[in-house]
Structure 1
Amino acid sequence: MIALAVVAFTGFSGYAALLPAAPLWVVREGTSDSAGAGAVNFVLLGATVATQFAVPWLIRRLGWGPVLAAGMVLLGLPSLLHGLTADLAPTLALSAVRGVGFGILTVAASAAAVLLVEPRRRGAAVGAYSLALSVPNVLLMPSGGWIGDTWGFWPVFLLGAVPLLGIPACFALSRHLPERSTQAPDLPSGTPAGRTTYLRLIPPSLILLTVTLAGGGIITFAPQLVAVPWLSAVGLFAFGLAATLTRWRIGAFSDRVGVDRLLWPFVILIVLGLSALAWVVRTPVGTAQVAAWVATCAVVGISYGALQSLTMLQAFAAAGPRRVGAASAVWNAGFDAGTGTGALLVGAVALGAGFGPAMALTAALCLLTLPWAIRSALRAR
């Protein structure tokens, strides 16, 4: 778990630093508008999703260590090249390469978290893994755009290369995992995941998709939602800290209470939080609105974090011990597809109608998943 924590911390540090900063880079130093800025993270996460379903196959062919290390190289090295140009086309190309690395990291690391422990402690393990990856989100995601605006973008690009420091931990982690396998140890080999497995994974994936769609919009456009740069950092810090704490603690709590019973309250909470946020950001947030801005970001962050862990645990339970790799790929694809689509959708709607209506749309999409969450709770009785 220590080696996994190092991999998660360094890998997600590179991801978190550039997630708000790279879109801002093409706006501040290039000639792009909000739609172009949204495309930066859309391409990043589109490449991530395109990669994720191949990761279990890559691990079977090459082994855990080489695959994880390759992911860290592809995620970290392109960050150093971002500073050479703020033109949109090369920025999109570098984002695509980073997306491949991030796709490898997300699927392999979350599968490893499950494979390192017995099923009854799965929630606690997912919570600990989530804490390690969320700390960079709390520290670097709020500050990436602010550092770029205040001190220049090169310090952010150097932070984006931190995944390269985690390569030794990739090989240390690989020694404790089933050799070239993404299923639970001591089980006979199963057939590849089929149609039934993927159908079971649809409900948690849809909930996750809408939640991360909202999160992607907030993370990408926080610097543009405020009138004063430091307010972006404060809002994202509140969002990230709330998400980190709930994502960490909800795992162990769900081991005792059950995952299915916990979904629907957090779906309702995120709908209410996003609705309030839509009202706050209908005009750029100023210092007079700092309390409302921070409070709404924190409320959204609570549900954002909790629903990540809960849907991950529900996905692994639905897939079964022989389909850990498939569950990890589908869950991470839902997470990153939602984040990338949120960046593109919120940017496109904001271009025509403003950020208030754009965030209201994300609240409506989250509300559509409430029947699935309620159905899970009723089934658990």
Structure 2
Amino acid sequence: MKSLNNSVLREPGMPLLVIMTVLSFSGFAALLPVAPMWAIEGGADAGGAGLVNGILMLFTVLTQLLVPSALRRFGWEPVLVTGMILLGLPTAGFFLSNSLGSILFFSALRGLGFGVITVTGSALVAELVDPMRRGQAIGIYGLAIAGPQIIFISGGPWLAETVGFGLIFAVGLLPLLGVVPAYLLGKKAERVPKSEGKPPYGQLVRPVVLLLAVTLAGGALISFMAQMTSSAGLSTIALLVLTVTTAVSRWRFGGLADTYGASRFTWPLVVTTVAGMSLLGWAVSDPDSTIVAPLLIGAALVGISYGGLQNLTLVLAFQAVKREHYGSASASWNVGFDAGTGLGSILIGAIATAFSFSTAVLLVGAVSLLTVPVALRGRHS
């Protein structure tokens, strides 16, 4: 496996893609759990804080729908560079105010940039690497995404509370350093071929539905783990467990998908999501005394399914289309990912405000349960 992964990294453009991805997702991940905290610092309630990542993902999704046509019209270089600037520069606005309105405004601008980077990044994996090793390449790309998430999603809330929010906001500017690798990568990538006919969106429904459900769970936990547990230290450990298992799972399932096919692993991972969210709902049932063991086991289970299904559904999406539709497959996949993340943030914030975090977590787990038939449908392919 090691030699195969090394050969994937030697593919032209892959090192630049990894560098660009690490810088962009460092800026993104640092603010994902901290921006809602900054809103609460400014007086927002759980519902208002939930809107922060919801707005971020709304504008991300709206942008993702436009990226495939932008790539065909303008080419890789201007699209990639613009995406890095839009993701990084608006972060400076967080230094100015913690009012909910300003946080939502700058989050929306960052969403424009993140929409570009997510679609182009995953599409470039398909462009740069032979389909026989695509699962491994997606795994390496996933590690470049997950590495910053391990550091900043788990440690960001603790750093914000102990060192200060300013440090996290500075990390949020890192995508600006990614402008150079983005430009160089754009010059290496081949021109996107003109689309012949409409993309086969019907064939993308299954992977997108499975992805949306698991990111609903992941987005809920990332946005509100700090608020749903009884201590900052415990939430940090739980987020660390979640992000580490996500990273390892997304990487390792790449090789399994190349060897055995992606479909046979989807339904066990959906069941794993349901089990993990059930344990988490039990763990946070008492807001003043979180139960440690089910919290950490539940976070690990959700992390395994969260990472594994990210890899497998992207493999399935690219398998469903021809090369001229890679951009549309990437956009559809990313819409599912980010819509799930944003809806998870909004949904758990709204339900927690009306009822409790325990109820919210259990209801999000029930959504994953409803997707078991979808996962089972392609288990033999």
Q: What TM-score results when the alignment is normalised by the length of structure 2?
A: 0.94
Q: Does residue 1:143 correspond to 2:155, yes or no?
A: yes
Q: In the alignment, which of 228, 231, 234 is matched to residue 231 of structure 1?
A: 234
Consecutive aligned runs of 4 or more in structure 1 exceeding 4 Å deviation: none
Q: Give 1:190 deviation, angstroms.
A: 3.8
Aligned partners of 1:201 and 1:318 also within 8 Å: yes
SS of the residue 1:77 aligns to: helix
Kindly provide the amino acid, as one letter, of the partner of residue 308 in structure 2: A
Identity across matched positions, percent: 43
Q: Which residue of 2 aligns with 1:134?
A: 146
CA spacing shift, 1:65–1:110, aligned 2, 3 Å: same
Q: Does residue 1:219 correspond to 2:222, yes or no?
A: yes
2:69, 2:324 → 1: CA distance?
A: 14
Q: Does residue 1:93 correspond to 2:105, yes or no?
A: yes
Q: Does residue 1:318 correspond to 2:320, yes or no?
A: yes
Q: Give 1:285 deviation, angstroms.
A: 6.7
Instruction: Write out per-residue CA displacement over residues 288-327 of structure 1, whole angstroms, 9 at most, x where no aligned residue.
Output: 7333322211111000000011111111111232210000
Query: Superposed, which structure 2 residues align to 1:20-99 within 5 Å?
Result: 20-28=33-41, 30-99=42-111
Q: Give 1:192 deviation, angstroms.
A: 4.4
Aligned partners of 2:279 and 2:295 also within 8 Å: no
Query: Superposed, which structure 2 residues align to 1:1-381 within 5 Å?
Result: 1-28=14-41, 30-179=42-191, 181=192, 189-194=194-199, 197-284=200-287, 286=289, 289-378=291-380, 380=381
Instruction: Write out per-residue CA displacement over residues 325-372 of structure 1, whole angstroms, 9 at most, x where no aligned residue.
Output: 000000000000000000000000001110111000011100111111
1:148, 1:255 → 2: CA distance?
A: 40
Aligned partners of 1:13 and 1:159 also within 8 Å: yes
Aligned partners of 1:264 and 1:377 also within 8 Å: yes
Kindly provide the amino acid, as one letter, of the partner of residue 350 in structure 2: A
1:143, 1:310 → 2: CA distance?
A: 27
2:197, 2:103 → 1: CA distance?
A: 36
Kindly provide the amino acid, as one letter, of the partner of residue 251 in structure 1: G
Kindly provide the amino acid, as one letter, of the partner of residue 329 in structure 2: A
SS of the residue 1:319 aligns to: coil
List alignment gaps of at least 5 residues for structure 2: 1-13
Aligned partners of 1:277 and 1:359 also within 8 Å: yes
Q: Give 1:144 deviation, angstroms.
A: 1.4
Aligned partners of 1:65 and 1:174 also within 8 Å: yes
List alignment gaps of at least 5 residues for structure 1: 184-188
Aligned partners of 2:123 and 2:330 also within 8 Å: yes
Instruction: Write out per-residue CA displacement over residues 164-193 of structure 1, whole angstroms, 9 at most, x where no aligned residue.
Output: 1111111221233112x1x5xxxxx44143
1:65, 1:142 → 2: CA distance?
A: 33
Q: What TM-score results when the alignment is normalised by the length of structure 1?
A: 0.94
2:188, 2:372 → 1: CA distance?
A: 39
Kindly provide the amino acid, as one letter, of the partner of residue 207 in structure 1: L
Aligned partners of 2:275 and 2:298 also within 8 Å: no
Kindly provide the amino acid, as one letter, of the partner of residue 119 in structure 1: P
Aligned partners of 2:61 and 2:335 also within 8 Å: yes
2:123, 2:370 → 1: CA distance?
A: 29
Aligned residues: 368
Aligned partners of 1:224 and 1:284 also within 8 Å: no
Aligned partners of 2:92 and 2:173 also within 8 Å: yes
Q: Which residue of 1 aligns with 2:5?
A: none
Q: Which residue of 1 aligns with 2:8?
A: none
Instruction: Write out per-residue CA displacement over residues 232-282 of structure 1, whole angstroms, 9 at most, x where no aligned residue.
Output: 211111000000001011011110000111111111111111111111011
Aligned partners of 1:215 and 1:304 also within 8 Å: yes
Aligned partners of 1:285 and 1:293 also within 8 Å: no
SS of the residue 1:191 aligns to: coil
1:38, 1:171 → 2: CA distance?
A: 34
Kindly provide the amino acid, as one letter, of the partner of residue 240 in structure 2: F
Aligned-pair RMSD on alpha carbons? 1.2
Aligned partners of 2:154 and 2:236 also within 8 Å: yes
Instruction: Write out per-residue CA displacement over residues 132-175 of structure 1, whole angstroms, 9 at most, x where no aligned residue.
Output: 11100111111111111112110010011111111111122123
1:360, 1:64 → 2: CA distance?
A: 42
Kindly provide the amino acid, as one letter, of the partner of residue 266 in structure 1: L
